[in-house]
Amino acid sequence: MFDKIEKVDPRTIWKHEAHDFTPWLAENISELGEALGLELEFTEQEADVGGFSLDLLAKDLSRNATVIIENQLATTDHDHLGKLLTYASGYDADLLIWISTEIREEHRQALDWLNQRTDSNTEIFGVVVEILKIGESRPALQFKVVVSPNEWQKSRKKQSSTATSEKAERYREYFQGLLDELREVHKFTSAKKGQPQNWYSFSSGNRRFQYSHSFTHGSKVRSELYIDNGDLEDNKALFDALFSDRTAIESEYGEALEWERLDDRRACRIAIYRSGSIDDSSEELQEIREWGIENLLKMKKVFGSRI
């Protein structure tokens, strides 16, 4: 009556780990981010670490954190565990992700042990990549998270060393609400974890641009398109190209925007502001959150096709 779910050898999809799977993952890193509840953005493939090469270097936009990804289209082994730790050290990484087709029990225990012993800013994931099909259906991808940080132990350790300030907790609660609505209602992000900081960035699908929402100086709140490709001249050229279409952009947006070329800095931004502070009342913060969500969605709609 029902077809069985069958597992397909991933190597029938990706013949070679370095030549096929790693480039595919670089292009589809949001699939991995969705499984982990992170807003991941690809940075570099085969990144140099001394005499070695890291499969993928990425960034967790939620906290501007460095992410290293080690791929292994096979059962985990000691060699790749050593590489994972070597690359983490080389890039002073905040998030370590080891992807394989099967994680040995001793390696799962090793990753769990590292999660228990590292500080609250270091997170380690073990992920199994699976290809599934039902009957004659097309194959489907699944990233199964086998090892993840123990948040209870991490938060307990953090409390014993450095108490989270009341303001930082207000930021975390504010952005948790913002993330939950953007993810569950609008499918804007896959991020799940609010951070105790005054800003949050989101992928635009083009790593030269990011959407962001933040509390800024002078009791103001900002939603923006942030431009930073790591190159000053390129950033200014990208900004100028958008600025040349300012009339059409603002007409489509429905109101004037702040065009901040920031000539004394590498990056540029196109933003909209309103008054507000994290110290405002709960009712005011809810109004600010709704304003932030509305403008992030408008920015994606107006700028998405242009970038």
pLDDT tens-place string over residues 140-184: 999 999 999 876 444 444 444 444 588 889 999 999 999 999 999
Q: Mark which of 158, 186, 214 sits at the end of a domain.
A: 158
Residues 6+ apart with CB under 8 A from 138: none
pLDDT digits (tens, 9 = 90+) for 47-86: 988 888 999 999 999 888 999 999 999 999 999 999 999 9
Segments forming the whole domain that contains residue 72? 5-158
The CA distance from 285 to 291, in Å, is 10
> What CA–CA distances, in Å, run from 239 to 227, 267, 305?
7, 9, 15
Sign of CA dihedral 104, 106, 108, 110: negative
Q: Are residues 27 and 148 in the same domain?
A: yes
Q: Are residues 73 and 138 in the same domain?
A: yes
**Domain tally for the chain?**
2
- Residue 295: closest CA among 242, 195, 225, 230: 225
Q: Mark which of 131, 158, 185 sits at the end of a domain.
A: 158
Decide: 125 and 97 in contact? Cβ < 8 Å.
yes
Output 185 or 135, whichever has higher pLDDT. Answer: 185
Q: What is the CATH number of the domain that holds 299?
A: 3.30.1460
Token duo for residue 96: 């370590």
Decide: 237 and 229 in contact? Cβ < 8 Å.
no
**Can you give the pLDDT at residue 193?**
87
Q: Are residues 178 and 248 in the same domain?
A: yes
Q: Mark which of 124, 158, 192 sits at the end of a domain.
A: 158
Q: What pLDDT band is residue 121 in, cutting at 50, 70 and 90?
A: confident
